[in-house]
Structure 1
Amino acid sequence: MGYIERNLIAGERVIYKTGTHWWVWLPSLLITSLLLAIFQPAVPFIVELSRRFAADLPQIDSYIVFFGIVIILFSALQTLGGFIRWLTDEISVTNLRIVSKRGWLLRRVTEISLSKFEACEIAESLFGRLLGYKTLIITGTGGTAHRFEMVHRARALRDHILAQAAAAPAVPSPTIPRAPAGQSALEDVFVGATAPVEEVRRAAQFVKEGKRQEAAALVKQLVSQYPQDADVWYLVGVLHTDPFRQRDAYQKALEINPNHRLARAALQKLGL
């Protein structure tokens, strides 16, 4: 079981999974083998030449041999790094998102919600066409492009991404519930709030009036000034359209204030 399978969320399942192509390590292995094949029989010849033509430079033969060993070790480390990448890299599409995990000790994870997916492009070099690896470029809403190099079975992955994106239901952005006349929708959740109540209510009013740009600008300012305010993080979740970022914002609000009723209700509604 790989990293992606161990980190699925509730109701999520892997549809298709692939990884990095074996060509990521084979060229450096061939270079290392070639260097070893050349260097081993060449050592006596190098020593003899250095003694004949550079007798006034003591131990130059040792320096030359040391330099050759360093080059071979560097090439071998490149091979090892590529081999580990081939073994550990993962990229998959689930019924909810596209997930990529690159690296072993230094890990980089990319997640793209299918509701934010816009386009998928394949680029291939001559070697890639012959050997079966390609570059996959996935574009999300807003024009953000994610580039995945040397993907094995990239066309099959692309086809599954397109199929899942077409079948993915649209996830509506949660809205602040209506409150009784004369009462703010957030009036009962200001428990230990650190941000100015008037500013939070003004941002909530912007959301209810459909003024998302004004609300986003105000909430961004509040997050930077009051990062430990649950109401502010709840509004961050309301403004996001990506369900996974909404989930993270609501969870942050509940970490700060476990009694935050609206954040808990919104998180349950997402079902993630």
Structure 2
Amino acid sequence: MSYIDRNLLTNEQILHRGYLSRIVFVSPSLLLLLGLAVLALDGDVAVIGVILLLAGVAGLLGAFIRYKTSEFAVTNKRVIMKVGLIRRTSVEIVLSKIESITVDQGIAGRIFNFGSIAVVGTGGTHDPFHRIAAPLQFRRAVQEQLAG
């Protein structure tokens, strides 16, 4: 059972789930491929290839854990965002306390449909979460709940 499902309030329903983008796998995958390419070369650079390969594997493992332990949801009562396994960061803001929600997308984010979401609550809370898949859909789900 997920963090969000375990922490739902009475009569609270999940209306939209967001996910971390698979873009988190790109950098470690490139590092892994670079390590394999360097290993394919003959000579004294094999040690560098092994180091790059191990760094790529470690990066992929970290990205996988981050991908699996990140949860984002809009319910009929609040917005819930949680990232992390050992060091957990979570934000739960009641809909009535949300002033705005911002989406930041660079060129790559617009092309591959990922970006950063920041929920701005009353009292000046500004909590950004990065590399969220389909951030505009998430923002729309929040705005629909705020309007309704």
Q: TM-score, normalised by structure 1?
A: 0.51
| Structure-to-structure mapping, 1:19-168, within 5 angstroms | 19-39=19-39, 41-42=40-41, 44-46=42-44, 65-167=46-148
SS across alignment from 2:43: helix
- 1:140 to partner: Cα distance: 0.5
SS across alignment from 2:56: helix
Which one has the bigger strand percentage?
2
Q: In 2, distance between residues paired with 1:141 and 1:20?
A: 26
Cα shift readout 1:189-221 (whole Å, capped 9, x = no counterpart): xxxxxxxxxxxxxxxxxxxxxxxxxxxxxxxxx
Percent identity of paired positions between Structure 1 and Structure 2: 30
Q: In 1, distance between residues paired with 2:37 and 2:24?
A: 22
Q: In 2, distance between residues paired with 1:5 and 1:122?
A: 25
SS across alignment from 1:25: helix
SS across alignment from 1:45: coil
Q: 1:66 to 1:31 in 2, by over 3 A?
A: closer
Q: In 1, distance between residues paired with 2:56 and 2:127?
A: 29
Which one has the bigger helix percentage?
1
| Structure-to-structure mapping, 1:170-185, within 5 angstroms | none
Q: In 2, distance between residues paired with 1:13 and 1:67?
A: 51
The answer (yes or no) to whether the contact 2:120–2:126 under 8 Å persists in 1 is: yes
The answer (yes or no) to whether the contact 1:117–1:140 under 8 Å persists in 2 is: yes
Q: For the aligned residues, what is the CA RMSD? A: 1.7
**Paired residues, number:** 148
- 1:27 to partner: Cα distance: 2.4
Cα shift readout 1:90-140 (whole Å, capped 9, x = no counterpart): 111111111011012332221111111001111111110110101112110
Structure showing greater Rg? 1
Amino acid at match of 1:9: L
Q: TM-score, normalised by structure 2?
A: 0.90
Task: Report which structure shows greater RCO (CA 8 Å, sep ≥6).
Answer: 2
The answer for unaligned runs of 5 or more in structure 1 is: 47-63, 168-272
Q: In 2, distance between residues paired with 1:130 and 1:33?
A: 23
Q: In 2, distance between residues paired with 1:129 and 1:83?
A: 23
Corresponding residue number in structure 1 for 2:3: 3
- 1:67 to partner: Cα distance: 5.0
SS across alignment from 2:54: helix
